[in-house]
Amino acid sequence: AQRVTQPEKLLSVFKGAPVELKCNYSYSGSPELFWYVQYSRQRLQLLLRHISRESIKGFTADLNKGETSFHLKKPFAQEEDSAMYYCALSAAMDTGRRALTFGSGTRLQVQP
């Protein structure tokens, strides 16, 4: 069965410091990985997808199949980045439809 691990419950950094939110996965198939974010009093929303290889709000994430990791990085944290971040793996279900398996989340606190 697939599994997503986010080892840090809380990551606290100062404004302007680099950020790296760790995500490791296990999946026997071809992985499709995402980062979702939930800002205070807002809904969970997609931040980025590994296939698109985009930089969203200064965040990037590279899929490393050798290390089975999909860490989220930003070179200079901003206070508005404070939120809950979830790594998610899309895996095939019995119906053939793919569904998301989420990690337990990491709360990022960016201090002024």
- Interface with another protein by CB under 8 A: which residues? 4, 6, 9, 32, 34, 43-46, 49, 86, 90, 93-95, 97-105
Minimum CB separation of residue 12 from another protein in Å reads: 18
Distances (CA, A) of 59 to 48, 76, 94: 8, 9, 33
CB nearer another protein, residue 15 or residue 100: 100
CB nearer another protein, residue 67 or residue 95: 95
Minimum CB separation of residue 75 from another protein in Å reads: 26
Q: Which residues contact 110 (CB under 8 A, 6 or more apart)?
A: 12, 13, 14, 15, 19, 77, 78, 79, 80, 81, 82
